């Protein structure tokens, strides 16, 4: 089974060195969206305007497959 990695960039990079074995890229996308939702919920209001939260999903060859972006803005 292929291994996928979920790297998160917010205040500091959190590189996923372990990864997760999943059947295919569709399963990796589903896992990324579930993980992202849980992680964003865990920020508990700490995402401030002007900050970015990003998750990159890569395969075992370090090829980026998906990127999820959350940009906090304060439009004036």
pLDDT on residue 62: 96
Q: Which two tokens stand for residue 72?
A: 């906090």
The model's pLDDT over 15-60, given as tens digits with 9 standing for 90+, comes to 999 999 999 999 999 999 999 999 888 777 777 888 889 999 999 9
pLDDT score of 50: 80
Predicted structure pTM score = 0.88
For residue 12, give the DSSP letter: S
pLDDT at 63: 98
Helix (H) or strand (E) holding 32: helix 25-42
């Amino acid at each position: 089974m292929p291994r996928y990695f979920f790297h998160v960039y917010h205040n500091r990079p959190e590189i996923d060195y372990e990864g997760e074995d999943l059947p295919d890229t569709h399963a990796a996308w589903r896992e990324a969206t579930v993980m992202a939702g849980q992680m964003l919920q865990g920020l508990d209001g700490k995402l401030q305007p002007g900050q970015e939260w990003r998750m990159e999903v890569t395969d075992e060859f370090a090829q980026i497959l998906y990127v999820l972006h959350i940009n906090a803005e304060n439009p004036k």
